[in-house]
Amino acid sequence: MSILAFKDTQVLIQGITGGAARHHTENMLAYGTRIVAGTRPGAAGQEVCGVPVYDSVAEACAQHRIDASILFIPAKFAKASALEALKAGIKLLVMVTEHVPLHDAMVIMEEKQKQGAVIIGPNTPGMISPPEKAILGFVPTRYFIPGPMGLASRSGTLTYELVSRLTAAGIGQSTCIGVGGDRLVGLRFAEVLLKFEKDPQTRAVMLVGEIGGTMEEEAAELVGGGKVTKPVIAYLAGQTAPEGMKLGHAGAIVDGGRGAMKTKIEALEKGGVLVARQPAEAIDLARKALE
């Protein structure tokens, strides 16, 4: 088992006729993802890599069971496309788009909440479930092997770095999710942890965090509160970032003074999360956690 994406997950590609979308559709199909339809207004009747294209999400949904949609949509149109998919009843969205305006993202997330859907991203390379041969996005598949480690990360490139090392150490992965690099994302570490906790194949979880935001602190509270019993390892980038640059200002009030690296590491360690100071240490901790 894995989480969120499986062998039989039927996938829609919004914006399938674009250059990058075509390229990644081909790669995803080659890996094993079941892509059943694509959309592009005005392109109904075309095919991309053998996948039928429709004018709208509603039309695609009328012809196919769609479990998930991947949006290869420019930032300017991301809001309209995400709302279209959510209103059509699709329960899992992967938004790879970078630079989605903050106010658009807030509207998207409100609709997601209303529909009871999950959004991965924005600004994410997507996710992969190696045991299920399902990739939703464009992580480089050759570094991933099936196994017991669940991973959630705020950074794409750092994920490749760490996963390639896990794989070299013989530690495979159940599911790896890039939750997205933006401050406002659809799926938070705490929610991913609860999903991994329920997944029988996942035996330990690695979180790849960054300075800023409160996702690491929320995860720490969950682990500390006993809601997650599997070992959790964290590696955070930005440990030596200068303290002087105070970001939030009034925004820091709603974060309750959290977000700094020091408070993150303290919270994680207090909650019982194994915190790695360097990438190599993260792999050692993963190995020990699985012994």
List the catalytic residues: 249
- Comparison of 15 and 125: residue with beta carbon closer to another protein: 125
- Comparison of 37 and 166: residue with beta carbon closer to another protein: 166
Q: Does 144 bind another protein (CB under 8 A)?
A: no
Stretches 39-47, 56-64, 226-234, 249-257: which one binds another protein (CB under 8 A)?
249-257
* CB-CB contact of 139 with 171 (8 Å): no
Q: Does 263 bind another protein (CB under 8 A)?
A: no
146 φ/ψ angles, rounded to the nearest 5 degrees: -70, 150
Q: Does 157 bind another protein (CB under 8 A)?
A: yes
Cα 237 to chain centroid distance, Å, stands at 17
Q: Does 161 bind another protein (CB under 8 A)?
A: yes
Q: How many residues does the chain have?
A: 291
Q: Does 58 bind another protein (CB under 8 A)?
A: no
How far apart CA 178 and CA 174 sit, in angstroms, is: 14
Q: Does 183 bind another protein (CB under 8 A)?
A: yes
- Comparison of 36 and 139: residue with beta carbon closer to another protein: 139
CB neighbours (10 Å) of residue 180?
29
Return the closest-CA partner of residue 97 out of 124, 120, 136, 118.
124
92 φ/ψ angles, rounded to the nearest 5 degrees: -135, 120
Q: What is the CA radius of gyration of the chain?
A: 19
Q: Does 284 bind another protein (CB under 8 A)?
A: no
Name the residues that contact another protein, by CB under 8 A.
Answer: 75-76, 98-107, 109-111, 113, 125, 138-140, 143, 153-161, 164, 181, 183-184, 188, 208, 210-211, 213-214, 218, 237-241, 249-255, 257, 277-280
